[in-house]
């Protein structure tokens, strides 16, 4: 019989976070939005995501140089996501940009079909700086 765990709420105030290790292709900083490098067939090398060629799979949980293994938040709670400097409203969806999160509303995404496949999470709080500290990352890998 498998053991069940309760979700967040009165019995569990610690949000779930899933972290996996990946190999850096170039320098990656904590908070960078990263994706799988699309050359080769290894499936474990990451680089900063791009709006068109490297879709986001998570957020770097630490800084690493080229060839270093680092932790990446691949789903759940994340308290350090670099954004593009646009003010973030609670509830904004996070879209992968050039290594950063781009906050967008549902209406903005509906108006830009290319943005929909790049959604990787959501901000739970408002932010005015370049770091989002209250985010949920959607499981993509």
Assess whether pLDDT exceeds 90 at residue 41. no
**Residues 71 and 53: beta-carbon distance below 8 Å:** no
Work out how many domains the chain is built from and give that number.
Answer: 1
CATH assignment of the domain containing 102: 2.40.300
Residue 97 sits in which domain range? 17-137
Predicted TM-score (pTM) above 0.85: yes
Assess whether pLDDT exceeds 80 at residue 108. yes
The model's pLDDT over 112-141, given as tens digits with 9 standing for 90+, comes to: 988 999 999 999 999 999 999 999 999 999
Residue 120 has a pLDDT of 97
Tell me if 11 is assigned to some domain.
no
What six digits make up the tokens of 125?
């709080």
Tell me if 9 is assigned to some domain.
no
Name the one residue in this structure whose structure tokens are 């830009």: 112
Rg (CA), the chain: 15
How do beta strands 119-123 and 93-96 pair? antiparallel
Assess whether pLDDT exceeds 80 at residue 70. yes
Query: At 106, which helix (H) or strand (E)?
Result: helix 106-110
The model's pLDDT over 25-40, given as tens digits with 9 standing for 90+, comes to: 999 999 999 999 877 6
The model's pLDDT over 79-107, given as tens digits with 9 standing for 90+, comes to: 999 999 999 999 999 999 999 999 999 99
Specify the length of the chain in residues: 141
Tell me if 6 is assigned to some domain.
no
Tell me if 63 is assigned to some domain.
yes
Q: What is the maximum alpha-carbon separation in the chain?
A: 48
């Amino acid at each position: 019989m498998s053991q069940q765990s309760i979700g967040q709420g009165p019995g569990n105030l610690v949000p779930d976070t899933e972290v996996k290790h990946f190999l850096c292709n170039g320098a990656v900083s904590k908070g960078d939005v990263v994706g799988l490098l699309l050359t080769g067939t290894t499936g474990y090398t990451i680089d900063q995501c791009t709006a068109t060629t490297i879709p986001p799979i998570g957020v770097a949980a630490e800084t690493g140089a080229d060839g270093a293994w680092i932790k990446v938040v691949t789903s759940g709670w994340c308290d350090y996501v670099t954004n593009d400097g646009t003010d973030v409203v609670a509830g904004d969806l996070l879209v992968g940009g050039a290594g950063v999160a781009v906050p967008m509303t549902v209406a903005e995404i509906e108006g830009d079909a290319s943005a929909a496949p790049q959604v990787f999470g959501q901000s739970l709080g408002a932010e005015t700086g370049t770091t989002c500290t209250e985010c949920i990352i959607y499981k993509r890998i």
